[in-house]
């Protein structure tokens, strides 16, 4: 391995940090796990790099997903933010929008903002809806804000002035004045974060960016400085973005908001590559790790995405891959409430971890339940890096079971039934509730705990096929190596579609492409390695919400784009109105910088290992179950259930009546056996 170069991806989870090393010359991949370090997530990444990257090897490309910004929002541990708005518009952020959220819920509460009215300042200025200056700004009025920063300890300032997305002159004047007087304070301008209409949503997006900016920047500074000796001088560390692309660490410090969903999105991008490899364009991707369960869709070979997300009830205007997250993982704690068993969302995490980790945890978890039922190997967990204590797991599960008159095995099965029902309901949220039949999809299960629950999940949803990808326990990290650099550019461009001048439209789209081209050039891409995807937001006249419709390259065919909107509307809502007037709201361009990467070969097949079996519980009954090493299975190999397929990063359960088959690329299909098959 001397002198070899590697492409490396790291996915930081609540319990484990996963790393995938891909040899640049051959494309061969290896996966590893290390326990996460919640006090400083960068330490786990650095430990994994030091432990598994050969001393004389280099990481020519490094990409990772982080939940540092997301966790700052979820735990309300972000920066203290001062908000600056236009005079007389101080209450926009706290009043919020007119969407009540859950209109029939008597328990609904308005989302708590990230900064309050006492932290909101105003300045006299006014730019109108056409971008014309009606009231010039007097930056001397900002002295009150400057003084407050020192008195109240603000770490960041969010600036959102009226119609700044049409004309940013006043926001730029504010920035120049504040930077001269507050050089160490993070300043976020709305026209950079979200140059798009809808005042509350734009303000919310700007505040959230300011809220996470210092936290994300501190984390990135730590990671970059600690990895300086590992990465070549001319190389940059890359971060996954919420839109499924990647960006350099430098770009991430400028756009910290884009890292919010950077961890979970890697698996969805891996699902896109998987769909192409195995010829199944419609996939439900589920990632069950130690703490959370993430569900997303691949439809017609592409990730389902949207141009606005909601976090803690607050809108965020940015392009995101649609991911539904619930608190359900291997570390989810089972507990008693009101005479019933609950599982999650509380998690044992990595410290102290499940009872079976032997690190001080005493409460039963999903991992403990699987171990009690014989579904995990106590001596070969996480690639042998962690030994599991079955006695402690059984003790914890039995203690909970005693309250319900159940033994340890019965209670363990109950814990798994509850967590499976929660996860199945999460999948229904992104399928059935949107008019999508999950039976038309294959279920892709990954994460350290996903493959063990996959068959039971598929059975609940009547899904015929389960796909266990290569390196399932580190598949999100594997997916990060399949991405390209992506930056999104947008502008509000309002009018009736039939009145839009095609040449002006083309010029505006061209301007967004030029912005993207300049940005990618700064990141070291040649024009030959760039491509652009154009789109626009449409709605029927009188409607509130929009659908985003792709605009093919070249001259804009106005009628073809209009017809594409009608067709998309019909698919989404079951009807359309081809004779109604259509409005365009926003223009969007995605600038893609294509990374050079080797192909992914079929995994090398090693020795199958000695034939062995153990007693495993399925549906309350013990079965003699074959234990199979995945590394010994070649493409085309089949394994009949009951069986357990073990590998370094996960354990796959093949129940009685099911069969596993290795597909192209080393991915594994798990499905019910057909009658008459051996």
What 3-state DSSP class applies to 552?
coil
- pLDDT tens digits for range 171-208: 999 999 999 999 999 999 999 999 988 899 999 999 99
Q: What is the pLDDT of residue 210?
A: 95
Query: What percent of the chain stands above pLDDT 90?
Result: 55
In whole angstroms, give the CA distance from residue 665 to residue 99: 46
Residue range 454-465: mean pLDDT, rounded? 95
Provide the b/e sequence for 595-613 (b: ≥16 CB within 10 Å): beeeebeebeeeeeeeeee
For residue range 567-580, what is the model confidence (pLDDT) as tens digits? 999 888 888 999 99
More confident residue, 583 or 107: 583
Beta-bridged to residue 3, according to DSSP, are: none
Query: Looking at residues 453-459, what average pLDDT do you find?
Result: 94
What does DSSP assign to residue 70? H
* Arithmetic mean of pLDDT, 648-654: 90
pLDDT, tens digit (0-9, with 9 covering 90-100), for 126-177 = 999 989 999 999 999 999 999 999 899 999 999 999 999 999 999 999 999 9
Burial of 352 (0-12, 13-18, 19+ CB in 10 A): middle
What domains lie within the chain, and their CATH numbers? 78-217 (3.40.50), 332-418 (no CATH), 493-589 (no CATH), 612-672 (no CATH)
For residue 1, what pLDDT is reported? 41
pLDDT of 54-71, one tens digit each? Answer: 877 888 889 988 878 887
Q: Give 35's pLDDT tier (boundaries 50, 70, 90).
A: confident
232 pLDDT higher than 70: no
Backbone phi, psi, residue 420, to 5°: -65, -40
Indicate if the pLDDT at residue 261 is higher than 90.
no
How far is Cα 616 from Cα 625, in angstroms, rounded to an integer? Answer: 6
pLDDT (0 to 100) of residue 254? 87
- The answer to which of 99-103, 418-422, 430-434, 477-481 has the lowest mean pLDDT is 99-103
Structure tokens at 551: 């605009």
Q: What one-character-per-residue DSSP string does 573-614 give?
A: HS---TTS-EEEEEEEEEEEEPPP----PPPPP------EEE
Per DSSP, 36 falls in state: -
Per-residue pLDDT, 381: 66
Question: 108 pLDDT band (50/70/90 cuts)?
Answer: confident
Distances (CA, A) of 327 to 185, 232, 294, 447, 574: 35, 38, 9, 14, 33
CA distance readout (Å), 388 to 273, 296, 344, 391, 626: 34, 31, 21, 9, 20
pLDDT at position 599 is: 77
Average pLDDT of every residue of the chain: 88
Cα 114 to its chain centre, rounded Å, is 22
* Per-residue model confidence (pLDDT) at position 396: 93
Which of 344, 367, 353 has its CA nearest to residue 421? 344
> Do 249 and 237 meet the contact criterion of CB atoms below 8 Å apart?
yes
Asked whether 372 and 408 are in contact (CB, 8 A), the reply is yes
pLDDT of residue 292: 82
pLDDT in tens, 609-630: 557 889 999 988 999 999 999 9
């Amino acid at each position: 391995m001397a002198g070899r170069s590697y492409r490396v991806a790291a996915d930081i989870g609540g319990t484990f940090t996963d790393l995938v090393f891909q040899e640049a010359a051959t494309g061969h991949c290896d996966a590893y796990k290390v326990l996460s370090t919640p006090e400083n997530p960068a330490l786990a990444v650095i430990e994994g790099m030091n432990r598994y990257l050969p001393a004389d090897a280099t990481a020519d490309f490094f990409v990772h997903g982080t939940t540092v910004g997301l966790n700052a929002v979820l735990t309300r541990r972000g920066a203290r933010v001062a908000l600056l708005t236009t005079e007389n518009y101080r209450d926009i952020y706290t009043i919020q929008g007119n969407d009540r959220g859950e209109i029939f819920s008597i328990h609904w509460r308005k989302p708590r903002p990230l900064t309050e009215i006492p932290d909101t300042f105003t300045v006299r200025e006014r730019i109108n809806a056409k971008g014309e200056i009606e009231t010039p700004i007097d930056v001397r009025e900002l002295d009150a804000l400057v003084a407050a920063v020192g008195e109240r300890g603000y770490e960041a300032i969010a600036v959102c002035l009226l119609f700044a997305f049409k004309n940013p002159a006043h926001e730029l004047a504010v920035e120049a004045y504040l930077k001269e007087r507050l050089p160490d304070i993070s300043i976020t301008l709305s026209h950079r974060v979200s140059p798009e209409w809808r005042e509350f949503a734009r303000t919310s997006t700007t505040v959230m960016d300011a809220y996470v900016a210092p936290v994300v920047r501190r984390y990135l500074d730590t990671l970059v400085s600690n990895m300086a000796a590992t990465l070549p001088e001319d190389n940059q560390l890359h971060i996954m973005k919420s839109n499924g692309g990647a960006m350099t660490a430098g770009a991430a410090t400028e756009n910290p908001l884009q890292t919010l969903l950077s961890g979970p999105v890697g698996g969805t991008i891996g699902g896109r590559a998987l769909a192409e490899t195995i010829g199944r364009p419609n996939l439900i991707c589920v990632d069950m790790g130690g703490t959370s369960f993430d569900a997303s869709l691949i439809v017609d070979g592409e990730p389902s995405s949207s141009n606005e997300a909601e976090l803690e009830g607050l809108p965020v205007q940015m392009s995101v891959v649609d991911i539904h997250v619930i608190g359900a993982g291997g570390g989810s704690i089972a507990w008693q409430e009101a005479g019933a068993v609950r599982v999650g969302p509380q998690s044992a995490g990595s410290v102290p971890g499940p009872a079976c980790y032997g690190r001080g945890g005493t409460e039963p978890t999903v991992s403990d339940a699987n171990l009690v039922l014989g579904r995990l190997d106590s001596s070969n967990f996480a690639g042998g890096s962690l030994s599991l204590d079955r006695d402690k797991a059984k003790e914890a599960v039995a203690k909970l079971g005693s309250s319900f008159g159940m033994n340890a095995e019965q209670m363990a099965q109950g814990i798994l039934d509850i967590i499976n029902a929660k996860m199945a309901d999460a999948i229904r949220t992104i399928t059935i509730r949107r008019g999508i039949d999950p039976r038309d999809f294959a279920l892709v299960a990954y994460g350290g705990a996903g493959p063990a629950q996959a068959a039971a999940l598929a059975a609940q949803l009547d899904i015929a096929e389960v796909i266990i990808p290569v390196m399932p326990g580190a598949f999100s990290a594997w997916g990060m190596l399949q991405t390209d650099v992506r930056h999104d550019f947008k502008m509000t461009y309002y009018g009736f579609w039939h009145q839009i001048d095609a040449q002006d439209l083309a010029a505006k789209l061209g301007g967004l492409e030029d912005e993207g081209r300049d940005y990618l050039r700064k990141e070291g891409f040649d024009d030959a390695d760039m491509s652009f995807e154009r789109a626009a937001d449409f709605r029927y006249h009188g409607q509130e919400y929009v659908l985003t419709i792709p605009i093919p390259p070249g001259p804009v065919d106005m009628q073809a784009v209009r017809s594409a909107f009608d067709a998309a509307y019909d698919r989404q809502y079951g009807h359309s109105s081809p004779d109604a007037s259509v409005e365009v709201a926003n223009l969007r361009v995605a600038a893609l910088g294509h990374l050079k990467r080797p192909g992914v070969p079929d995994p090398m097949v090693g020795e199958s290992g000695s034939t062995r079996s153990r007693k495993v519980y399925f549906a309350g009954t013990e079965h003699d179950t074959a234990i199979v090493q995945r590394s010994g299975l070649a493409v085309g190999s089949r394994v009949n259930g009951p069986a357990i397929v073990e590998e370094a990063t996960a354990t796959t359960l093949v129940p009685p009546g099911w069969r596993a088959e290795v597909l192209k690329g080393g991915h594994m299909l798990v499905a019910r056996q057909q009658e008459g098959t051996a």
